[in-house]
Structure 1
Amino acid sequence: MLGIKMSVQMHERLRARIRQLGMSVADVAREAGVNRSFVYDILRGKSLVPNLEKLTRIAGVVKVELEWLLTGKGTVHGDDPITDDYHNEFVAIQYVAVRPSMGGGAVVEQAEERSGRDFHFRRAWIRDRLKAAPSMLRVMAVQGDSMLPTLNDGDTILVDMNQRNPSPSGVFVLHDGMGLVAKRLEHVPMSEPPRVRIISDNARYSPYECTSGEVNIIGRVRWYGREM
């Protein structure tokens, strides 16, 4: 069991404990007297060395020792949320109702709109293969034909919002100023200001370039699913 605890990262331990207690991020932040952004940064894996005084207050709110949050070795009041099957459990990834276009783009009004169709992936796959934080993943459906044959109209994609750097090149979801699109991005070497090349895998569509400030990269596409 200790080996499992030690292999789980701090943001995973805190998220599992918050979920076990039936609390929200707002509850934890309010009772600990910290900003919600402080808690969110930990849960998203962005804050690897948070302020220890604030983290101690959070540990008190979720009824664990600070050492447990940091290393997994400390005491937990009640049942430990990190079980022997933790890595084999499935984790829910939020599905958002926006549909990135692979043509001219689709305007996004509510990027966080839920459809009630969360997808479930094995935690170990997300951690070991994708090396991603579940809270920063989103599932979307794509539309259009400009990314054929890589992506088909109606494919489901998994987007890592922690990966917004187009180097190395890959397929990303981005807002190009006109709408939300799924495209292949390449950094243009030696460009000043920095530029990105936006490419459709379907040769019928011409590539185009923008400065990095003209595009809002939502995240890198890490997986896709398709109905036969």
Structure 2
Amino acid sequence: MLAVIESMPFAEAITRALHAAEMDQSALARLVGVSSQAVNQWCRGETQPRGKRLEKIAQVLGVPVASLLGHDAEPPRPGNNSEVISSKDGIADLIIKEVDIAAGAGNPTYADPYNEVTAEKWVIPRKFLSSFVKDTENLRIISVSGESMSPEYKHGDKVLVDISHKTPSPPGVYVVWDGYGVVIKRLEALAGKNPPSIRLSSANTLYADYECSAEDLIVFGKVVGRWDWI
């Protein structure tokens, strides 16, 4: 899912993309739905868009999001690519990727949410998973880092994430990029907010709730299970 990667400054990347698209700042502002001043600030390195706005900019400029983050090419995005194998007894098993980063439960993990790096591959009986998860084709495994979701999700826990769930309705526990890093939090859409906002809360009462603009969130997926050790 994610990788910690050094990249060129966003200002340089968007300036290059504008030049390649033969587009000026005013045109980009109009197509993205922001002020010309906002685009000028991006190109000068004063601010940087996140979440859905970043994806909209990439769409308008005709480039992968990863290239705006300074990467030469964008790896495959999450999708229906769980592998299926058959064991010796003919029962189908799933190979599920464990991605090479932990979701912060306390301090956010600083990473690029547009890159997926496989750390391990787990082989799990498909019949077993289908008893608990309706869609077995969109699953990833990640580690939890920190104690903000304790006791529900403890430091070092492995959790199963369904990457087909991108909208926190109804509320639930998700892995997200909150504009600052990758975290595991309980998400709830806040009614009547303009712009639309999401509340992020922790199971550990020592950690305060906070709100993020829906535009600034990149939802990787919903947590649908975890491994417990006794």
> Does the TM-score normalized on the shorter chain lie above 0.5?
yes
Q: CA RMSD in A?
A: 2.6
* Distance (Å, rounded) in 2 between the aligned partners of 1:159 and 1:224: 9
Aligned residues: 150
**Identity percentage of aligned residues:** 30
**Aligned AA (1:170):** G
Structure 1: runs of 5+ lacking an equivalent: 1-39, 46-80
**Residue in structure 2 matching 1:113, options 86, 101, 117:** 117
- In structure 1, the residue matched to 2:52 is none
* Distance (Å, rounded) in 2 between the aligned partners of 1:192 and 1:112: 32
CA contact (8 A) 2:86 2:92 kept: no
Instruction: Please state how far the C-alpha of 1:173 moved relative to its aligned partner.
Output: 0.3
1:100 to 2:142 alignment: no
Structure 2: runs of 5+ lacking an equivalent: 1-77
- In structure 1, the residue matched to 2:134 is 131
- In structure 2, the residue matched to 1:170 is 172
Instruction: Give the TM-score normalised by structure 1.
Output: 0.59
Q: When you count strand as a share of all residues, which structure comes out higher?
A: 2
Instruction: Give the TM-score normalised by structure 2.
Output: 0.59
- In structure 2, the residue matched to 1:156 is 158
Q: Tell me the secondary structure at the aligned position of residue 98 of structure 1.
A: strand
Instruction: Using CA pairs under 8 Å that are at least 6 residues apart, name the structure with larger relative contact order, 1 or 2.
Output: 2
Q: When you count helix as a share of all residues, which structure comes out higher?
A: 1
Q: Tell me the secondary structure at the aligned position of residue 185 of structure 1.
A: strand
**Residue in structure 2 matching 1:90, options 89, 93, 100:** 93
* Distance (Å, rounded) in 1 between the aligned partners of 2:128 and 2:208: 36
1:226 to 2:228 alignment: yes
1:29-44 equivalence runs, <5 A: 43=80
CA contact (8 A) 1:158 1:223 kept: yes
Q: Tell me the secondary structure at the aligned position of residue 94 of structure 1.
A: strand
CA contact (8 A) 2:99 2:116 kept: yes
CA contact (8 A) 1:94 1:119 kept: yes
Instruction: Please state how far the C-alpha of 1:82 moved relative to its aligned partner.
Output: 8.9
- Higher mean alpha-carbon deviation, 117-126 vs 209-218, is at 117-126
Q: Tell me the secondary structure at the aligned position of residue 130 of structure 1.
A: coil
Instruction: Please state how far the C-alpha of 1:128 moved relative to its aligned partner.
Output: 4.5
Instruction: Please state how far the C-alpha of 1:127 moved relative to its aligned partner.
Output: 3.4
